[in-house]
Chain A
Amino acid sequence: MTQTTLRVNEHGLVQHADLQHLITALHDKGYQVIGPTLQDSAVVYDEIDSIADLPAGWTDEQDGGTYRLKRRDDAALFGYTNSPQSWKKFLHPPRRRLWQAQREDAESDFVFMPENGTLPRYAFLGVRACELNAIAIQNTVFTKGPFIDPMFKALHDAAFIVAVNCIQAGGTCFCASMDSGPHVHSGFDLALTELIDADRHVFLVEVGSRRGAEIMEQVPFEPAQEHDLAAVRRIESAVADDMGRTMDTTDIKQFLYDNVNHPRWDDVANRCLTCSNCTIVCPTCFCTTVEDVTDLTGNQAERWQRWDSCFTLDFAYIHGGSVRALARDRYRQWMTHKLASWIDQFDSSGCVGCGRCITWCPVGIDITEEVHAMRESDTTSAEISTLNMV
């Protein structure tokens, strides 16, 4: 008797030729399917219609300040790692209007008009373990505090997530150090592991939710065998052992708090261009600013929110100047936030080890390298901590 349905936590094996059924099923359920595509010499998450849109047979080479696409010697669909853009651009868009306000003329009253439009229901195909963690981290920021961002919540809760386990680690990856990968464990509707060799090209599917199980009713699959699950475990440990970078996170919060005046901050500040690339590509960085605009009549006003970065001078401006006037202050704020204060604020690290900030830094500044260098010369001491007092 062949099995026709899968329940939560069960596995099935889907042939490469049948994977299109997954996309079709998602479309049929009304999802806008977003997945990796090849654009401008990079992997870019964008709307996809079919499996043919995926970057089959491509991989990438990444290092500090370097990203290059390369041909694989097989036709793997997910044989690369993180690309410059993350899912952040969909759930926490780079620019959005918060509301409009309108009045008849300068003398008359105005009214506020909230954004009442509809939002897309996304299905994300190809969410990596680190990215899944990054989505969960942003969900904490926007929905677990004293206030809830209603747009993020609506987009997030509606999104269908097809996770993908990495079959190789990238040159700047260190998710294993951050305990956020390389294998996905929860928070997905379906999770795929691509198994490809001379004999077969299949996807081991794990069901993570009822929604996921429902979609799988539309996708042909075979039962997964123990040797398939073993193959997945082998991939997981091989990838974990092959991380391009590592970071020692032992007691890192206190370590960074104690080293607030480490000379390494000056050293990195001399290299950092304060260009904000690292914060833009980071899947957890959430900071925004607002812009108030009016039309030519001056009677129609709008408030827009857009991504901002703690690397800009304006970011911490209060009358008289920026609180973080020096590049050193700003790099320190960013790295200390990611690795230390985030833990105080949201009970988790703000870094998932995706490596994007390393790959996309024009001068190749490497967060793992900076931590390493500081640990080599720990300056923790009461004396140092009182230096630089104003």
Chain B
Amino acid sequence: MTATVAHSPTRNLPNPMLPNPYRVQRVRKETQDTFTLELEPANGQSDFHFAAGQFNMLYIFGVGEVPISISGDPGKPRKLVHTTRAVGVVTSAMQQLKRDDMVGVRGPFGNDWPVVEAQGKDVVIVAGGLGLAPVRPALYHVLNHREKYDNVVLLYGTRTPNDILYRREVEKWRARLDVDVHVTVDRAIHPWRGNVGVVTRLIPKSPFDHLNAVAMICGPEVMIRFTVLELERRGVLPDNIFISMERNMKCATGFCGHCQWGPNFVCKDGPVFRYSEIKPFFGQRGL
């Protein structure tokens, strides 16, 4: 008879692969294919502290688990907010969730947007499509501490006016006198009277000091690429440009290897990267 070692990770060590049960408090339809879930712990109220830019792994019973950024206000940790686009197996199952349904949550994972480093500087947030969700917490943080920042600019581009996320909120931000909000669409639909064209076109004219600005970019990789080019053209230094990356993720803990991108694990070294640090291989195909 051979002896064994006790294997009760929950007693000795936290098991980072084990989700926690959460309950859907509220479901909001954002656009045709995108929805926002507000979650709270299934076993009693507790705050979910996170830093702007971090993500969670959300598990749908029996279906699977996917990385989704936290899109709520880091200053209001009572509410755990996720905005998701239904694109495949897990996210489509997630779209079916109703109030009081349960999900599994692991997190928060990853690093955050440079909201501290940006203090005393102009903040330029450039978001494409669904990319507004992962940077929204940074914008919340900056607006919660508005006096600590110089100019604040949000440049937001979507395919059509119908794809604009958080529409009421974007309109509210646009009405503020201390934030410059510019929205553009690739394709106008009546009655859109705003900008038409890709989001990078907004960069040359926007009100920030290229030598004193921190840029945060979130969106599809091509959009990031062209945004970086445009910012560099305006004289923003690679050290002051930050991007958020997406890669396949199975663990979010650095164990599964799926999220590797060059020398980085996007799950633990990212998802936010300083452009100067990844510039040598950014845009390299097949990495």
Residues of A within 8 A of B (CB): 27, 30-32, 98-99, 101, 103, 109-112, 114-121, 141-142, 145-151, 153-155, 158, 257, 260, 286-290, 292-294, 298, 301, 303, 305, 308, 310, 315-319, 323-326, 328-329, 332-333, 337, 340-341, 344-345, 385, 388-390
Residues of chain A contacted by B12 (CB below 8 angstroms): 150, 154
Residues of chain B contacted by A301 (CB below 8 angstroms): 61-62
Residues of chain A contacted by B263 (CB below 8 angstroms): 340-341, 344-345
Q: In this complex, which of B42, B61, B225, B280 has the most chain A Cβ atoms within 10 angstroms of its Cβ?
A: B61
Residues of chain B contacted by A287 (CB below 8 angstroms): 256-258
**A153 vs B15: C-alpha distance when bound (angstroms):** 11
Residues of chain B contacted by A119 (CB below 8 angstroms): 4-5, 7
Residues of chain A contacted by B102 (CB below 8 angstroms): 109-110
Residues of chain A contacted by B174 (CB below 8 angstroms): none
The 8 Å CB contact of B283, one of A98, A294, A341, A390, is: A390
How would you classify the secondary structure of chain B's contact residues: helix, strand, loop or mixed? loop
Q: How far is the CB of B240 from chain A (nearest CB, A)?
A: 22
Q: In this complex, which of A27, A288, A325 has the most chain B Cβ atoms within 10 angstroms of its Cβ?
A: A288
* Residues 1 to 45 of chain B near chain A (Cβ within 8 Å): 2-10, 12-21, 42
Q: Is the CB of A32 within 8 A of B250?
A: no
Beyond A120-B4, A145-B268, A308-B257, is A114–B9 a contact (Cβ under 8 Å)? yes
List 21 A-B pairs, Cβ < 8 Å: A99-B18, A111-B21, A112-B20, A114-B8, A114-B15, A118-B5, A120-B4, A121-B3, A121-B5, A150-B9, A154-B12, A257-B281, A286-B257, A288-B255, A292-B63, A292-B65, A303-B17, A319-B87, A323-B248, A341-B260, A388-B285
B287 at the interface (CB under 8 A from A): yes
Q: How far is the CB of A94 from chain B (nearest CB, A)?
A: 14
Q: In this complex, which of B247, B265, B287 has the most chain A Cβ atoms within 10 angstroms of its Cβ?
A: B287
* Residues 75 to 99 of chain B near chain A (Cβ within 8 Å): 87-88
Q: Is the CB of B2 within 8 A of A389?
A: no
Q: Is the CB of A341 within 8 A of B262?
A: yes
Residues of B within 8 A of A (CB): 2-10, 12-21, 42, 61-65, 87-88, 102, 104, 222, 225, 246-248, 250-251, 253-258, 260, 262-263, 265, 268, 280-281, 283-287
Residues of chain A contacted by B104 (CB below 8 angstroms): 101, 112
Q: Is the CB of A337 within 8 A of B260?
A: yes
Q: Is the CB of A120 within 8 A of B2?
A: yes
The 8 Å CB contact of A148, one of B16, B64, B248, B281, is: B16
